[in-house]
Structures are given as structure tokens and as C-alpha cells.
Amino acid sequence: MLILTCPYCGVAADETELAPGGEAHLRRHGPDSSDSDFEAYLFLRRNPRGLHLERWRHAHGCGKWFHAARDTMTMEVLGTYPAQVTAPPPEIVHASDADTA
């Protein structure tokens, strides 16, 4: 059972209160992009053993999208952070570095 703390309302929400949104920080490639870029944007996803940055929506709560950093092997949640960023905050990157070092 996964429990993520919504960075907007501070509620520790159960997995079943949330809607998953897949991999985070994807860069969109639109109509003018190359076929391979568009294919990568649309279909190709990381499947890491370890740190995974993902999107979640607090669907049964405040309704906001947010990001979560989770270890796919241990299910450890390294943190959650707001959606209005294009990269994870430094403390989460450092936390994951410390884990793998």
C-alpha cells in the first residue's frame, strides 16, 4: 500500500484516493517534431529499478496533480513535490544519490 503526502493540502493520501499519471517530466514533442521524437514522447517510458519520478493526482481530495519520487524496488517514497516544475527538487535528487552510493 502506497501512501503519498499531497504537497498542496498536506493530506497523507492512500493509493486508492489517488489517480496515477505515469512518468513525470516528459518533454512534449508536437506536430513539427521528428517521427522518432514523437514516438519517444508518446510511447517510450523508463522502467527503472530504483528511483522513479511519477505524476499522481489527488483525485479523491483536493484534485491537484503533483509529483512523487519513489523507489520501484523498495517502494520507499523519497518525497512529493508540486507539479509546476520541470525537474525534481535538489533534495530529492540528493536523497536518491545517497541511496545508490
Q: Which of 13, 69 has the CB closer to other proteins?
A: 13
Query: What one-character-per-residue DSSP string does 65-100 give?
Result: EEEEEEETTT--EEEEEESS-SS--HHHHHHHHHHH
Choose which of 2, 5, 8, 83 interacts with other proteins (CB under 8 A).
Answer: 8
| 77 contributes a contact to other proteins by CB under 8 A | no
Do residues 4 and 68 touch, judged by C-beta distance below 8 A? yes
Do residues 82 and 7 touch, judged by C-beta distance below 8 A? yes
Identify any residues that bridge with 19 across adjacent strands, giving them in sequence order.
57
Identify any residues that bridge with 56 across adjacent strands, giving them in sequence order.
20, 66
Stretch that binds other proteins, among 2-10, 49-57, 67-75, 93-101 (CB under 8 A): 2-10
Q: Per CB under 8 A, which of residues 25..64 are in contact with other proteins?
A: 60-64
* Nearest approach, Cβ of residue 95 and other proteins (Å): 25
Residues of the shown chain interacting with other proteins in the complex, contacts defined by CB under 8 A: 8-14, 16-17, 60-64
